[in-house]
Structure 1
Amino acid sequence: MTFTPYQLRLVAWAAIAVAVWLLLTMLSPVLMPFLLSAVLAYVLHPGVERLRAKGVPRWLGAGLALTLLVMVLLAVLLLIVPVITKQVPLFKEQVPLLLDKASEGVQQLGARFGMALQIDVSLIQGWLRGLVVANESELISGLLSSLRIGGSAVAAVFGNLVLAPIVAYYLLLDWDNMVARVKQLIPPRWRASVQSFLDETDEVLGQYLRGQLLVMGVLAVFYTVGLALTGLDLALPIGVFTGLAVFVPYLGFGLGLVLGLLAALLEFQSVWGVAAVAGVYTVGQVVESFFLTPRLVGERIGLHPIAVIFALMAFGHLFGFVGVLVALPASAVLLVGIRRVQAGYLASDIYLQPPLPPAPPAQRRPAPEDKAS
């Protein structure tokens, strides 16, 4: 059996694709910080170019951009640290008081129905204390064991956090030259179409980033004002953190919700206060999911609001949390490719061929009685 040159080329490209896929799979832990660095460099490159146009050297502009990004991330992190350090000791102090109030509420509820209901607060406190003390050794040994087993993973995470900005800095210094060298590898007959595709993709991703920043700003203001109207003392740090953390879908909102409910429970010590804070987060989640993200992000990148919701659910189902995180930018890139395929199809001979002429009407065969006559 002989193969045609086209079949041989197809088999060769398939073998290369499989080899590259296996290589990337084996090197995925090593490649992760470099991929993160490439994303950071791509996001910061327009700002560095603007600084360069104003006379700032590239090395200084890259350093300023990365420094500003690190400061923003540290500011977001520092918003949550005071909340946790303040709420945890208060929670330990307020647990007995909360149990007493819960016991009083149960007694009043039972009195309305003529029943003697009561919560044994001392029994619950003893049970909680015994639970912690009895499992203290197991918790400590388990923690130490996990630290020993996952020590390399923890070190790798911190190493990547240090390595990623350094690699991103060098990528920013040599970004234009690297892009030019990659473009030289593209066959000349394909360069125009590939460049057009990359330009459109870059525009769509830029629209996505601007829309996402707008959503984060609107939600930060909404949560801060909403929590302040409920009377929560920590409305500013919790509201700003929740709004900025929605960049990480579900996880950011969930963490902000836990902090808000915990702060409300310790401050108000009433069902209505906690319910008011929960209502603010419910309204915020509904507005973000069904209005802000579809309108401010989806429409900017050309996705229908229903397509945005479907993309988040589909990517989350296929790839988990990482899929939810990259759902919209990946959908934006896919949208550009689909537009190109659609344009090629509408300009193809298959679509532009004239309709076939109608078939001639079938002649009626004479019936037997006609022949007999």
Structure 2
Amino acid sequence: MTDSQRWFILGILLIVIALIYLLKPILPPFLVGMVLAYLGDPIADKLEAKGLSRTWAVTIVFTVLSFVGTLLLIILLPQLILQIKNLIQNLPIWQQWLQVNVIPILHTQLGIEPSAFKLDTITQHITATWRDAGSFLTPIIKSATASGVAIVTALANLFLVPVVTFYLLRDWDIMMAKISSLLPRSIEPVVRQLASECDEVLGAFLKGQLIVMLCLGLIYSTGLWIVGLQFAVIIGLIAGLASIVPYMGFAIGIGAALIAAAFQFDSMLPFVGVVVVFIVGQILEGMVLTPLLVGDRIGLHPVAVIFAILAGGQLFGFVGILIALPVAAIIMVLLRHLHDIYKLSDLYHTAPEPTQQDD
């Protein structure tokens, strides 16, 4: 790579970063559409290989994605809202139970003052927040009266996601080919190799681990609902999302489910049911879901995933969260190659000292 090519690539990267920072308020629907198009492109390619046109293949993939997404919202959203309401209503009961049974023990054994917990303030804050969120029609009406442009923008962003997804999915292969044709010819093979490795990393995570998380969330929610747990959907979804880190979803989910069961049930049978649900979920993850959906492909390290998401959110907000994993995958691949180059360089291998010859 020549110096001019290095400066050219660096300039492009700086321009992209500056545009992301300046345009981040309007980027979310486009980034969400890109992620969905990236996930749907392999399926569309397989349908296209079977003889369908690209438009028909994309239409089928888009229809299936829309149907599944709508079905999940119809099934889960009402249950989720209902369980959140029940959770808020039970907060005062749980607060009283903690004040009577737990806080005195902590005060006696550890010397922690009861006033340090501030349970009243926490309960009031959560209740007030949910009350404000529940009466969402009032702020919408006020916003519509005060700033109709903001409402139009929000609705436009909502409808932009499926539109952007469809057109990006239809033209995905064409865009990748055009980007490849614009690369300097001397570095195009290397960039293509790096892009292939980045796709492998992202594929192992986005196309594998995220689907595993969704499946685990559904398994945990359904199992806890069969047990009769009052907050099955909330706990199941949280456990599924926490499965981004191995065993974290299991630990958080079974802990929260057992605590909720302690407040709800008097017999031991539901506790056994909760344990069975999470053991079955772990068995299915280890023996079926992960081998089938992720396999032995190289994915992002869990710590790298957590750091990338937190760093992206801190730097660029919601847009940073959306681009965190692709950027982390690229950095991981680049660091791997830099590691190999470093191992072959003089910086790693100490040059032998010249020997002194006797006269």
- Deviation, 1:70, is 1.6
- Deviation, 1:333, is 2.5
Q: Distance in 1 between matches of 2:85 and 2:350?
A: 78
Kept after mapping to 2: 8 A contact 1:90/1:266: no
Q: Higher relative CO (CA 8 A, sep ≥ 6), structure 1 or 2?
A: 2
2:75 equivalent in structure 1: 79
Q: 1:248/1:27 Cα in 2 relative to 1: closer, same or farther (>3 Å)?
A: farther
Match of residue 187, structure 2, among 187, 190, 199: 190
Q: 1:61/1:235 Cα in 2 relative to 1: closer, same or farther (>3 Å)?
A: farther
1:212 equivalent in structure 2: 209
Kept after mapping to 2: 8 A contact 1:217/1:243: no
| 1:350 and 2:350 matched | no
Match of residue 172, structure 2, among 175, 178, 186: 175
2:34 equivalent in structure 1: 38
- Deviation, 1:199, is 1.7
Match of residue 341, structure 1, among 338, 341, 347: 338
- Deviation, 1:79, is 2.6
| 1:59 and 2:55 matched | yes
| 1:313 and 2:307 matched | yes
| 1:199 and 2:196 matched | yes
Q: Distance in 2 between matches of 1:52 and 1:27?
A: 35
| Unpaired stretches in structure 1, ≥5 consecutive residues | 1-5, 106-127, 364-373
How does 1:1-373 map onto structure 2 within 5 Å? 18-19=14-15, 21-84=17-80, 143=139, 147-148=143-144, 152-213=149-210, 215-216=212-213, 219-220=216-217, 223-224=220-221, 227=224, 231-232=227-228, 241-242=237-238, 268=264, 300=296, 302=298, 307-313=301-307, 315-317=309-311, 319-320=313-314, 327-346=324-343, 350-351=345-346, 356-360=351-355
- Deviation, 1:319, is 2.6
Q: Distance in 2 between matches of 1:141 and 1:59?
A: 39
Q: Which amino acid aligns with 2:329?
A: A
| Identical amino acids, percent of aligned pairs | 25
Kept after mapping to 1: 8 A contact 2:230/2:264: no
Report the TM-score, using the length of structure 1 for normalisation. Answer: 0.59
- Deviation, 1:316, is 0.9
Residue by residue over 1:260-309, the C-alpha shift from the partner in whole angstroms, topping out at 9 and shown as x without a partner, is: 87x9689937698999999899999999xxxx9999999955368xx422
Q: Distance in 2 between matches of 1:248 and 1:154?
A: 34
Q: Distance in 1 between matches of 2:200 and 2:74?
A: 33
Kept after mapping to 2: 8 A contact 1:205/1:301: no
Q: 1:315/1:285 Cα in 2 relative to 1: closer, same or farther (>3 Å)?
A: farther
Aligned residues: 320
| Unpaired stretches in structure 2, ≥5 consecutive residues | 102-123
Q: Which amino acid aligns with 1:205?
A: L
Report the TM-score, using the length of structure 2 for normalisation. Answer: 0.61
Q: 1:100/1:277 Cα in 2 relative to 1: closer, same or farther (>3 Å)?
A: farther
Q: Distance in 1 between matches of 2:292 and 2:323?
A: 17
